Structure 1
Amino acid sequence: MKRILRVLCLVLINFLLISVASMEASAEVKTAVHTYKEQPYIQINGGDAAVTEKINQILKDHAISVAKANKAWKNYDAEYYTRNVKTLYNNNKVVSVGYVDGLKYNYENKGTYFSVIYNFDLTTGQRIMLRDIVDSKDKEMNLEYAISRNLQLKYSKGIKIYEKSVYDIRLTDSTPFYFYENGIVIRFYPSEIAEYSVGFIDIKIPYSDLNEKGTHKLISYLDYLRNHVTDYIDSKIDYFEGYRISSMYSLANGEVWEQVEPRFIMLPSYSLSSKVRIYKDGARYYLWVEDMADVVEVRRVHPE
């Protein structure tokens, strides 16, 4: 009788071990690259079947949208396509899939590239947005400070970061990011915060930086210029109604400056004879007009 019980116990233990191994195997999520009308996309397998189906449909829909857009852009002698797609992170709990899409006119040597990153909770199939991770004002301030610190380091190493971008951190819920083992990675497009030749810039932000107690307030770029930059020109402008790209600003000293930064900030009403200061920071020039809380990048058009 005892022998029979021992055999039954061994059978039960083996059954349990096999069941656990089977559950673990089914919970493991793998990814593979597929194509739809020459556009690559990621599909996952493993895990909960309903969750997998939900995620896969979203990932395939991206390729379908790109293919449709490419067909439309061909009428304008251009190509819209997915340059590459990668699984950026997968720990069987969350997965990050990154698409790099491009728009290129056939008569140009370079295209415009941007990244769409999908982060999913593999338990529910829900997309994870930046607001789900940066879910408080303190974390938002910590994130901006950490990005600024990282950009300052890159700038000091000679990477062609725009000076203003070091302090003017603009994040939205659609800002692309992906996970890594100890935090998140924020991605910036080519020419978004640095010269086009630099390409994409990925900045690692550890959870420890996000969750740090005692927040760091990032100063504005205007405050930085006022406190640290001594190379500037003071003048006045007869008529001013706000910042707008391609606007020409004629100063009282005879100089004319063109706004090259895509910023649009209009005053409630125009101002007359406002004070103006042109700061030179690195190789770039920035215009500040009295009563404005920001500066814009400009270039001098007269005298050349």
Structure 2
Amino acid sequence: MNKTFAMLISFLLVFLFIIPISDANAAGSSTVTTKIYSYKGQKYVQIIGGEQKVRDKINKTLKIHAVNAAIQNTYLKKQQDYFYWNTTAQTKYNQNNLISIVYTDYNFRGGAHGYEEVTTYNYDLTTGKRLYLNQVIQTNKQAVNLAEGIESDLKSNENVFPDSFYNFPLSNTSSFYYQNTGIVLVFNPYEVGPYAAGFIEVKVPFSKIQSELSRPFFDLNKNSIQELKSGRIPGFENISFGQTKAEVSKALKSSNSEPYYEPEMGGLFWIFEGVEYASFNFGEGDTDRLDHIYLSWKTLPMKTFSDIEKMLGKGQKGENPDIQGEYLLSYRFGDTRVHFASNSTEGLIHGITISHY
């Protein structure tokens, strides 16, 4: 009897230890699986399991991609029988109620080679909501961290165009997929490297995205208006208009390098080491007082005119009279003027000019 009782206790102890381990693994895994199907030769992913309403919503979008590819393929073949469009698909991530599906489209219209393009579909499996980069990057600080992480990775890739280290496409609709410890940005051929390099992937860890910044950035928000009115630069601690070059250098904890001349923006601009994304103009002659600042897009990544107006209110839009094909969104806050520049009224901001009179 005692021996039987002891065996029963041993069994229960083993059972109790096994159950939590199983539950923990289940909590970290997804509630769905995926399967590849084909529509007129075009591959697409469908999810299996989970809530039907969510599943149907996601699957509809995932199949539409293949349907559209088939339509494109038919259209191309009517032009030339050797033209074609081909789509492949794969599941890149399926954990923690998040799923990432990557479609690769290849179309050939003659010439030395065709053209490849990637489209990513990221979903919250609890709601069926499609997730874009601005759901991962929720603050300007995180956007700056992301841009910095991409730049660092691109610089280590010998296949990347050198100019792309500082000027790569980054928007809310940029292609990315999840990994356990971060996200992977995917650049199409020619976006940051030659066709022969294929798709260039850049991994940025969540730890980098969420880290504290050690350098100044344009921390624009609804509270920035009062700072600008006072002649201060949001995010650039202890820097304000009217300071000397020495005072700015001390505030940035950096020495300045050689200046460059920008006639359309008011003369000589100085760049300080470690803050290459910002240029400072100290006026003409012997004044040596800060009155113009130019900031590159990396101080305010992934923003459009519409994003700025949500923070600062309605501004004045129009073509830049000095630069053909450039548009400006302009504000005046007291004696401070701010101009956001873009290649279109709907495009991404590629530069910011702040001046004080």
Query: Smaller-chain TM-score range?
Result: 0.5 to 0.7
TM-score under structure 2 length normalisation: 0.53
Structure 2 match to 1:65: 68
Structure 2 match to 1:140: 143
Q: 1:54 aligns with which of 53, 57, 75?
A: 57
Structure 2 match to 1:198: 197
Structure 2 match to 1:90: 94
Equivalent pairs counted in the alignment come to: 209
Show the 5 A alignment for 1:1-304: 28-77=31-80, 78-82=83-87, 84-105=88-109, 107-154=110-157, 159-214=158-213, 216=215, 268=321
Distance in 2 of aligned mates of 1:177 and 1:201:
11
Q: In 2 relative to 1, CA 27–110 (structure 1 residues): closer, same or farther, beyond 3 Å?
A: closer
Q: Determine which structure has the larger strand proportion and give its number.
A: 1
1:184-236 CA-partner distances (Å, limit 9, x unpaired): 11000011101111110111110010011125569xxxxxxxx79xxxxxxxx
1:42-99 CA-partner distances (Å, limit 9, x unpaired): 00101111111111111001111111111112233221221x2110100151000000
Q: Is the 8 A contact 1:96 1:119 kept in 2?
A: yes
TM-score under structure 1 length normalisation: 0.61
Offset at residue 170 of structure 1 (A): 2.4
Q: Is the 8 A contact 2:30 2:98 kept in 1?
A: no
Distance in 2 of aligned mates of 1:166 and 1:270:
24
Q: Identity rate of aligned residues, in percent?
A: 32
Distance in 1 of aligned mates of 2:144 and 2:181:
19
1:10-54 CA-partner distances (Å, limit 9, x unpaired): 9xx9xxx9xx99xx6996311110000110000010111111111
1:124-152 CA-partner distances (Å, limit 9, x unpaired): 00100101011111111111111001111
Match of 1:268, SS state, is coil
Distance in 2 of aligned mates of 1:79 and 1:103:
6
Q: In 2 relative to 1, CA 216–45 (structure 1 residues): closer, same or farther, beyond 3 Å?
A: farther
Any unmatched runs of 5+ in structure 1? 1-9, 219-226, 229-265, 272-292, 295-304
Distance in 1 of aligned mates of 2:95 and 2:62:
18
Any unmatched runs of 5+ in structure 2? 1-11, 218-256, 259-318, 325-349, 352-357
